[in-house]
């Protein structure tokens, strides 16, 4: 084993996969409520300021929880898949570990201030993706099976007053009912989208196109540019229809629970996500774990966790070193038998 392999394996096993080595300061504030809100709104965890609407919504939730002696339930909403660009597709990789540990650290001072245990629930929303993005369902099924095993494993290792769990959006309603309502509602969504400024539409369409798997459930690689543009338009409007109908079907039952505080990744930075808190994916990355891939930046004096995008991967892929690993997680996914490492300082 080379010095690099030894150093990386030691970091993975003794630091990253030690879920009880989190050193966190007590809540800072003159009152318990103030301390909790200071923690939740701190830019250390979001990197960018929270929207006023998100702060107001969250403060109301904290008031309800404290006034009624309820347990804190933090719900992290995520895609429920691994993006197909990643070499680790279709299963979770180290990016998921980075974010899970980051969330534990984020809520730990709040959990330790309470008599009741605090819950972190990962809410997977892959139920309609195969219709929106042409993503094969079997890949998403593999992802969610492995992700649940990962959460179960970590939950068994954490000794803090925190419980981790996974819920699937698909378990809340009949899928056929969801799809019917989505397509019935689609004309209204299209009219809303068409009314946006041209620049905003262009930005959203370009973003949507990066999520479409042209060689996925159906082979769409040879369709014309006109057909491609039409599919992209259908994809983004169908996604927005899903978000509205999903909330209509289970908003009060799930998201509006008195003790549930929703958390978002990068979606919380844009239109549609202003009312809920957003978080970075770890202390050094903003790329969502399901849309990116986890690597290690190995410098002379430290090792840094990085979740990188496809664009960043393409920029450095020739310099990445694949390091073989030995740990318990290989039973969950072969992705945990190795990790990409970049030696030195990343150019981004």
Express each pLDDT in 275-297 by its tens digit: 999 999 999 999 999 999 999 99
Does 268 score more than 80 pLDDT? no
User: Residue 267 pLDDT > 90, yes or no?
Assistant: no
Q: What is the mean pLDDT of residues 285-312?
A: 97
* Model confidence pLDDT, tens digit, residues 74-117: 999 999 999 999 999 999 999 999 999 999 999 999 999 999 99
pTM equals: 0.95
Q: For residues 39-59, b (16+ Cβ closer than 10 Å) or e, as one string?
A: bbbeeebbeeebbeebbebbe
Mean pLDDT of the chain: 96
Of the candidates 172, 185, 177, the residue with the CA atom closest to the CA atom of residue 255? 172
At residue 25, the pLDDT reads 82
Residue 73: per-residue pLDDT: 98
The arithmetic mean of pLDDT across residues 312-325, rounded, is 98
Task: Give the pLDDT confidence score for residue 39 in this predicted structure.
Answer: 98
118-156 residue pLDDT tens:
999 999 999 999 999 999 999 999 999 999 999 999 999
Fold classification of 32-284 (topology level): Rossmann fold (3.40.50)
pLDDT at 338: 98
Q: What confidence category does residue 270 fall into, taking pLDDT thresholds of 50, 70 and 90?
A: confident
- Average pLDDT on 10-33 reads 94
Mean pLDDT throughout 309-327? Answer: 98
Q: What is the pLDDT of residue 57?
A: 97
Give residue 24's pLDDT.
79
Residue 202: band (very low, low, confident or very high) from pLDDT cuts 50, 70, 90: very high
How far apart are the C-alpha atoms of 69 and 59, rounded to whole Å? Answer: 15
Place of tokens 């919504």: 57
CB 65 within 8 A of CB 72: yes
Q: For the chain, give the percent of residues with pLDDT over 70.
A: 99
Please answer whether residues 309 and 211 qualify as being in contact, where contact means their C-beta atoms are separated by less than 8 angstroms.
no
């Amino acid at each position: 084993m080379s010095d690099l392999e030894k150093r990386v394996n030691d970091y993975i096993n003794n630091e990253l996969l030690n879920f009880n080595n989190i050193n966190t300061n007590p809540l800072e504030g003159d009152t318990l409520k103030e301390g909790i809100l200071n923690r939740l709104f701190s830019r250390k965890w979001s990197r960018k300021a929270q929207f006023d609407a998100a702060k107001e919504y969250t403060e109301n939730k904290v008031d309800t929880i404290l006034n009624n002696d309820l347990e804190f339930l933090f719900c992290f909403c995520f895609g429920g898949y691994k993006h197909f660009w990643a070499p680790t597709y279709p299963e979770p990789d180290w990016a998921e570990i980075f974010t899970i540990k980051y969330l534990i650290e984020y809520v730990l001072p709040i959990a330790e201030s309470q008599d009741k245990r605090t819950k972190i629930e990962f809410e997977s929303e892959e139920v309609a993706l195969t219709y929106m993005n042409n993503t094969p369902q079997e890949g998403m099924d593999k992802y969610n099976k492995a992700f649940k095993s990962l959460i179960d494993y970590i939950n068994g290792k954490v000794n803090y007053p925190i419980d981790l769990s996974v819920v699937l959006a698909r378990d809340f309603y009949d899928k056929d009912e969801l799809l019917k309502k989505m397509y019935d509602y689609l004309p209204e969504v299209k009219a809303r989208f068409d009314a946006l400024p041209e620049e905003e539409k262009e930005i959203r369409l370009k973003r949507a196109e990066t999520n479409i798997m042209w060689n996925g459930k159906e082979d769409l690689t040879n369709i014309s540019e006109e057909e491609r543009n039409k599919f992209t338009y259908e994809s983004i409007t169908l996604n927005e229809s899903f978000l509205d109908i999903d909330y209509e079907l289970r908003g009060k039952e799930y998201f509006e629970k008195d003790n549930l505080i929703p958390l978002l990744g990068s979606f919380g930075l844009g239109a549609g996500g202003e009312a809920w808190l957003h978080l970075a994916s770890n202390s050094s990355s903003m790329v969502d774990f399901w849309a990116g891939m986890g690597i290690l930046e190995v410098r002379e004096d430290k090792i840094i966790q990085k979740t990188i995008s496809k664009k960043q991967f393409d920029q450095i892929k020739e310099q990445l070193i694949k390091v073989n690993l030995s740990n318990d997680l290989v039973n969950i996914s072969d992705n945990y038998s190795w990790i990409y490492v970049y030696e030195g300082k990343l150019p981004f």
